[in-house]
Amino acid sequence: MHASTAAPLAYQVNLSDHALGEAQRNALLAGELGFGKRFTDHMVAIQWDKDRGWHDAQVHAYGPLSLDPAAAVLHYGQEIFEGIKAYRHADGSIWTFRPEANGARLQRSAARLALPQLPVDEFVESLRQLVAVDHAWVPSAPESSLYFRPFMIASEAFLGVRAAQVATYYVIASPAGAYFAKGVAPVSIWLSEDYARAAKGGTGAAKCGGNYAASLLPQQEAQAQGCSQVLFLDPVEGKYLEELGGMNVFLVYRDGRLVTPELSGSILEGITRSSILQLARDRGMTVEERRVSIDEWKAGVASGEIAEVFACGTAAVVTPIGELKGKDFAVGDIHAPAGEVTMALRRELTDIQHGRAPDRHGWMARLR
Ligand SMILES: *Cc1c(COP(=O)(O)O)cnc(C)c1O
């Protein structure tokens, strides 16, 4: 579809002249990292234009972008992103998880947002290039990781409404501590009855900033209700579960079934979701990808037929859901301990990612 370079891109590496010293970096990595607040010394940038395709791949100092105020991304929101982690294993080696899946998803997001498709090999290579210079930033504390944020913007300075003919792909990286520093704790979620995050035929299945922009108001509403996340329903009937706006959702039935909403066209296809489905099948669980109504959730939790509910995504891996609240109801018990199946699946997945369990599906890719 778009011009793509047959030969691998050659990187120009310009090391930062203000990289953090070793002692400072180690002190920072040993402290409370939180999520997405501190960034490594370097970043990747690759240019694309309609005539030349992908070119000018660089690793350079992390820092502000210089962007024309007419850049299309600032006006029409033509932007996509990814989220993927690097894990330091006990022997010091650095690995990532299913990067080809993220690369392929970035391509699907690009297609929907009329942005150019970065070859999957180049996506994986961009992570490798950043780790080559910033490997000391991959933390080694239990459950910690380096979170990569690859993203692409329409950087053409043009206010006409059409797909941009100039785009830039970047990768930045942020060291991340254990998401649940004080132990995995169930969260309370808010059912958004007034807002949808995606539309039929819209961009819900693409990982794009615009979907998040649409979710921030309901997210504020959730917080005002004492909930940490929002659950969105399907945009057509307002009846079926979609997802949490940044995480996919699963129901564990007392009879051993694991149920998750089928990919409806407006749900984001999570790589954690697909990995959890595989691990559940491996455990002999009956896995169902189908439509699940909000009434099924409410009735199932009330009757005890649904024993556990959880959400999953790269950042928090697996988050138990203790309670679901809406305008005139609440089901579940936020004070109940995290479910057994939820925690077993969480442990299994993180053991593979951190190199504590055999990688029987070939999901891990070595970065260094
Ligand atoms: C990224 C994302 C997810 C989770 O996907 P993973 O690949 O598991 O991290 C779920 N929903 C939305 C809307 C997302 O953007």
Tens of pLDDT, residue by residue over 6-17, are 689 999 999 999
Mean pLDDT confidence for 250-262: 97
Torsion angle of alpha carbons 66, 71, 77, 81, nearest 10°?
-40
Tens of pLDDT, residue by residue over 83-127, are 999 999 999 999 999 999 999 999 999 999 999 999 999 999 999
pLDDT at 68: 98
Mean pLDDT confidence for 289-293: 98
Place of tokens 């300075």: 157
Task: Decide if pLDDT at 1 tops 50.
Answer: no
Tens of pLDDT, residue by residue over 225-243, are 999 999 999 999 999 999 9
Greatest CA separation for the chain: 62
| Ligand 1 pocket, residue 174 CB under 6 Å | no
| Ligand 1 pocket, residue 248 CB under 6 Å | yes
| Ligand 1 pocket, residue 353 CB under 6 Å | no
Sign for the pseudo-dihedral over CA of 278, 177, 128, 164: positive
pLDDT at 2: 52
Task: Decide if pLDDT at 4 tops 70.
Answer: no
Q: Two tokens at 248? A: 């996919």
| Ligand 1 pocket, residue 210 CB under 6 Å | no
Number of the ligand 1 atom closest to the C-alpha atom of 82: 1
| Ligand 1 pocket, residue 246 CB under 6 Å | yes
Task: Decide if pLDDT at 197 tops 80.
Answer: yes
pLDDT at 245: 84
Distant-in-sequence, close-in-space partners of 67: CB < 8 Å, separation ≥ 6: 73, 74, 155
pLDDT at 224: 97
- 51: DSSP letter: T
Task: Decide if pLDDT at 363 tops 90.
Answer: yes
C-alpha 128/C-alpha 99 separation (Å) is 11
Tens of pLDDT, residue by residue over 311-328, are 999 999 999 999 999 999
- Tell me which residue has its CA closest to atom 12 in ligand 1: 246
Task: Decide if pLDDT at 50 tops 50.
Answer: yes
> CB of 266 within 8 A of CB of 200?
yes
Q: Report CA(104)–ligand 1 centroid distance (Å).
A: 14
Testing ligand 1's pocket by substitution, the residue of 314, 349, 353 carrying the most ligand atoms inside 8 A of its CB is 314
| Ligand 1 pocket, residue 270 CB under 6 Å | yes
Q: What's the predicted TM-score (pTM) here?
A: 0.97
Measured from the Cβ of residue 181, the count of other Cβ atoms closer than 10 Å reads 10
Share of the chain above pLDDT 70, in %: 98
| Ligand 1 pocket, residue 245 CB under 6 Å | yes
pLDDT at 6: 66
Task: Decide if pLDDT at 28 tops 90.
Answer: yes
Domains recognised in the chain with CATH numbers: 11-176 (3.30.470.10), 187-352 (3.20.10.10)
Task: Decide if pLDDT at 25 tops 70.
Answer: yes
| Ligand 1 pocket, residue 207 CB under 6 Å | yes
